[in-house]
Structure 1
């Protein structure tokens, strides 16, 4: 019976070896292979044959279990706190907003009048911005508000989708949207989101330093314009409910004509 030096298959390569004293038949001495493996004779030291055995490679194992994709709000903890890093992994059919770590209900689709007002405002603003370095964007467009948190994905806890926004500091823009406060935000009130636009977002935009905030009421054909004062608080810059210019504080030289926005949006 040949003597075996202890050995075990290498975890990395799946092979091992043993040696046996020489006999009269050096090239044909075989040892029982590992179950499912193969044995290969080879020359060893001291004239002893060296036998290698190979074991079948184990199928590769994933380094971690894959988590289920988040495709429904029902998969989230309603009392949980989330960040932009979490937000990026969600695969919802609807657009949602994240405010101070809390997920808001899916945004309702814009109605006909809402879209008319948005298009007409955007046209008036864009015509002016062609002579400016500022940029105009529409929802859906991620705005990460970072004044009270860091700007890293795992730190940002507020992500909003303003109806219209203007950014003049283009260093705030990246491929995913805007990091920090836009210079001007316009929200167009729809049925069901009055409190959201006039209270929740009013406070949020004030806190984060959005320099000018307009709230547009399509049904009443009215615009309320707010600008930050020297103390960082919003004050009313104008209320527009009849034909005439609506000046924009953060864009000197631009005054949107009320009649260009509302007359046809009925």
Structure 2
């Protein structure tokens, strides 16, 4: 349908409703100047971290993922063609995250590697030879970066972190302990710490150069987590978890 700009102005609601059936070409002085068309939401399937039951078999492309990211103020991750909406973390999560970040900052200050906290996009591609073949984008809680030469001209990091830390939330536990574990291992990350606030524990993985589990230790109570990759980087668990507020029974 073709209408002039005056008709559109006088009956905008009418023509807006008609876009459900057809496009509206708008003319001015006999020339086509614009088109009013129906807007279709992109066919993204968001896997909210609290609603994994809505999982779908359709994988989205990296281009679709970037369209979503650029049109939203939310934070997302792309893993194996599925999109995860990142929920806002709880208070205790941030307390412990900041404690670990403080230890890391003091250790790496003046050293070639650098520790960074979320949000920072990390692009991984598993066993593939390049990102385009198996695009994954994650935002770990903490990463240790030793390849700053992999920061591109747009100031985006495109390397592989040497060490990754994830602090579990109830809604992210399955993803962090299974999905991300597999992704980090096969992408070439060398060390992975999973911090469990509820259990006051750290599950500590070291991966081999062949991208397999080389060491797995679960640390609790009075243990000390020590990095095999960075000698001298260690944290006493009692010092870390003493910052968590004691649980109070609900009324």
Q: Would you call these one fold, judging by a TM-score over 0.5?
A: yes
Give the direction of change, closer, same or farther, for the CA distance of 1:209–1:88 in structure 2 (3 Å limit).
same
Contact 1:224 1:236 in 2 (8 A): no
Q: Name 2:170's counterpart in structure 1.
A: 191
Q: How does 1:160-199 map to 2 (within 5 A)?
A: 160-174=138-152, 175=154, 177-199=156-178
- In structure 2, stretches of 5+ residues that fail to align are 1-28, 47-54, 246-251
Match of 2:6 in 1: none
For each residue in 1:133-174, what CA deviation from the matched residue of structure 2 results, as whole angstroms up to 9, or x when unmatched? 21212222111102444546x545211111111111112234
Provide the TM-score with structure 2 as the length reference.
Answer: 0.70
Query: Residues 195-210 of structure 1 correspond to what in structure 2 (within 5 A)?
Result: 195-210=174-189
Is the CA contact (8 Å cut-off) linking 2:126 and 2:183 kept in structure 1?
no
Against the structure 1 CA distance between its residues 263 and 149, is the aligned structure 2 distance closer, same or farther, given a 3 Å change threshold? same
**Aligned equivalent of 1:101:** 81
Q: For residues 147 and 158 of structure 1, do their structure 2 counterparts lie closer, same or farther at Cα, with a shift above 3 Å needed?
A: same
Structure 1 residues 217, 177: CA separation in 2 closer, same or farther (over 3 Å shift)? farther
- After TM superposition, the structure 1 = structure 2 runs for residues 85-164 of structure 1, keeping only pairs within 5 Å, are 85-90=63-68, 91-104=71-84, 106-149=85-128, 151=130, 155-164=133-142
Task: Indicate the residue corresponding to 1:243 in structure 2.
Answer: 222
Distance 1:196 1:210 in 2: 17
Deviations 1:162-217 (A, max 9, x none): 11111111122344643242100111111122211111111111111110011100
SS in 1 for 2:177: helix
Q: Distance in 1 between matches of 2:39 and 2:240?
A: 48
Name the structure 1 match of 2:52: none
Residue number in structure 1 paired with 2:233: 254
User: Do the aligned partners of 1:245 and 1:258 also contact (CA within 8 Å) in 2?
Assistant: yes
Contact 2:188 / 2:209 at 8 angstroms: preserved in 1?
A: no
Between the aligned partners of 1:59 and 1:230, the Cα distance in structure 2 is: 61
Higher-Rg member (1/2): 1
Residue in structure 2 matching 1:84, options 41, 62, 68: 62
Q: May I ask how many residue pairs the two structures share in their alignment?
A: 205
Look up the SS of the partner of 2:67 in the other structure: coil
Please identify which structure carries the higher helix content: 2
Q: Distance in 1 between matches of 2:143 and 2:42?
A: 29
Task: Give the superposition deviation at 1:245.
Answer: 3.1
The structural deviation recorded for 1:72 is 7.3
Contact 2:147 2:160 in 1 (8 A): no
